[in-house]
């Protein structure tokens, strides 16, 4: 069988003499049509890159674990696929969250006097009964630190078997706690209007309910809910910054590079963004009752405690990028403390998360 020769024209021959071959007419390519397609695609890509981020564009492959205090649940939110949002019911309202090395999440259930240990993949919940009023959570070297204002202490539990170690005295009303990279704890004593740094008491803005440690471990931030000020201390307890922000600040968080501090202003429906060095402040209005704060994936997320709503903020530009109305099986009533999981693959259909908190 004779195979037809392709219709094509070879390259022009070099200058020295050699035979020329012609196999047929030169193919006609729709160059103008191809050029129009290329220009159209380039325009769409450029437009998508420059437009403000909205909806699921606000966070690529981000999962948020959100404490629904009023709805007594953890809500697993996939910002790229809102329909995949899941709700895990708890035996009490979750206040604070911390992630264990094995990927499970611990939630403090203050009104129930317990902790909930949650496998977010299977939805299995283990309850650790403590009694008292467990609230703030921190993790260091296999020990979970839990504030208990009913006793004025930080309780210490071994995560291997949940056995309890001797408690640490922590003032009148210890509310929030954070582990210091150099060892020891930073505790916000709300009723004592003070911050405890490795047991050393320093005066703080009235009713401090929050504490955050900078990424380099050299600074500790807090805020007085009634004093309306954000304060930053060095690790020795010397105040290095104080900024009057108003609006009842209830939570603070450092940016991953330590150059910015965010404060949730529960009484003014906004988030204050502070320069961590100069204290220069910018206000981002988000509405509702701001509470949870989380830097993740290049964005700042703020939770609305009055509704199941999460707001994504461009913290550098100080502007809202997207607002997510969280829906799941059962009503999502509030959005408080948050953790972020980034997808890094799957094993047996389960998440293999990298976690920020």
The residue-averaged pLDDT of 278-306 equals 96
Q: What is the pLDDT of residues 66-76, one digit of tens each?
A: 999 999 999 99
Say if residue 3's pLDDT is above 90. Answer: no
C-beta separation of 175 from 190 below 8 A: yes
Going by pLDDT thresholds of 50, 70 and 90, the confidence category of residue 30 is low
C-beta separation of 148 from 131 below 8 A: no
Q: What is the pLDDT of residues 312-356, one digit of tens each?
A: 999 999 999 999 888 776 778 999 999 998 654 332 223 333 333
Dihedral (CA of 264, 313, 296, 60) sign: positive
* Nearest residue to 322 (alpha-carbon basis) of 111, 55, 131: 55
Going by pLDDT thresholds of 50, 70 and 90, the confidence category of residue 57 is very low
d(C-alpha 142, C-alpha 14), whole Å: 76
Dihedral (CA of 284, 288, 294, 299) sign: negative
Count Cβ atoms within 10 A of the Cβ of residue 342 and give its class: 0-12 exposed, 13-18 middle, 19 or more buried. Answer: middle
Going by pLDDT thresholds of 50, 70 and 90, the confidence category of residue 14 is very low
Exposure string over 168-198, b if 16+ CB within 10 A, otherwise e: bebbebbbbbbbbeeebbbbbbbebbbbbbe
Going by pLDDT thresholds of 50, 70 and 90, the confidence category of residue 180 is very high
pLDDT of residue 20: 44
**Average pLDDT, whole number, for the chain?**
84
pLDDT of residue 331: 73
Pick from 28-37, 271-280, 340-349: least confident: 340-349
Q: Which residues pair with 350 in a beta bridge?
A: 347
Residue % of the chain over a pLDDT of 70: 77
pLDDT of residue 292: 97
pTM score, whole prediction:
0.80
The residue-averaged pLDDT of 43-54 equals 39
pLDDT of residue 296: 94
C-beta separation of 96 from 107 below 8 A: yes
Q: What is the pLDDT of residues 144-173, one digit of tens each?
A: 999 999 999 999 999 999 999 999 999 999
- Using CA atoms, how far residue 168 sits from 96, 185, 344, in Å, is 19, 10, 38
Count Cβ atoms within 10 A of the Cβ of residue 74 and give its class: 0-12 exposed, 13-18 middle, 19 or more buried. Answer: buried
Structure token pair of residue 158: 């071994």
Say if residue 239's pLDDT is above 70. Answer: yes
Give 219 or 30, the one with higher predicted confidence.
219
Which of the 8 DSSP states describes residue 328? B
Question: What number of helices (H) and strands (E) belong to the chain?
Answer: 1, 29
Give 202 or 24, the one with higher predicted confidence.
202
Say if residue 7's pLDDT is above 80. Answer: no
Q: Enumerate domains of the chain plus CATH numbers.
A: 53-356 (2.130.10.10)
């Amino acid at each position: 069988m004779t195979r037809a020769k392709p219709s094509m024209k070879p390259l022009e021959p070099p200058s020295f003499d050699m035979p020329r071959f012609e196999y047929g007419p030169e193919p006609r390519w729709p160059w103008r049509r191809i050029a129009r397609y290329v220009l159209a695609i380039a325009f769409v890509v450029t437009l998508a890159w420059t437009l403000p981020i909205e909806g699921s564009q606000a966070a690529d492959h981000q999962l948020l674990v959100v404490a629904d205090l009023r709805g007594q649940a953890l809500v697993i939110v996939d910002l790229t696929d809102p329909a995949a949002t899941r709700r895990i019911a708890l035996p009490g309202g979750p206040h604070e969250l911390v992630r264990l090395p094995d990927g499970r999440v611990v939630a403090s259930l203050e009104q129930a006097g317990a902790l909930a240990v949650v496998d977010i993949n299977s939805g299995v919940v283990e309850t650790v009964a403590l009694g008292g009023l467990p609230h703030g959570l921190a993790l260091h070297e296999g020990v979970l630190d839990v504030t208990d204002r009913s006793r004025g202490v930080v309780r210490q539990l071994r995560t291997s078997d949940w056995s309890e170690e001797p408690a640490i005295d922590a003032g009148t009303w210890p509310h929030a706690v954070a582990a210091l990279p150099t060892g020891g704890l930073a505790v916000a004593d709300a009723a004592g209007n003070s911050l405890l740094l490795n047991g050393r008491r320093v005066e703080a803005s009235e009713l401090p309910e929050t504490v955050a440690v900078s990424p380099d471990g050299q600074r500790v931030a807090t805020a007085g809910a009634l004093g309306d000020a954000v304060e930053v201390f060095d690790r020795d307890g010397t105040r290095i910054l104080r900024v009057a922000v108003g609006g009842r600040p209830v939570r603070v968080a450092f940016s991953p590079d330590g150059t910015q501090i965010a404060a949730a202003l529960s009484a003014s429906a906004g988030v204050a963004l502070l320069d961590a060095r100069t204290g220069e402040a910018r206000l981002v209005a988000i509405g509702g009752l701001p509470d949870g704060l989380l830097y993740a994936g290049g964005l700042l997320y703020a939770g609305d405690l009055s509704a199941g709503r999460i707001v994504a903020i461009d913290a550098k530009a100080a502007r809202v990028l997207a607002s997510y109305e969280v829906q799941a099986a059962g009503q999502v009533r509030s959005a408080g403390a948050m953790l972020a999981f980034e997808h890094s693959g799957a094993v047996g259909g389960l998440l293999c998360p990298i976690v920020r908190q």
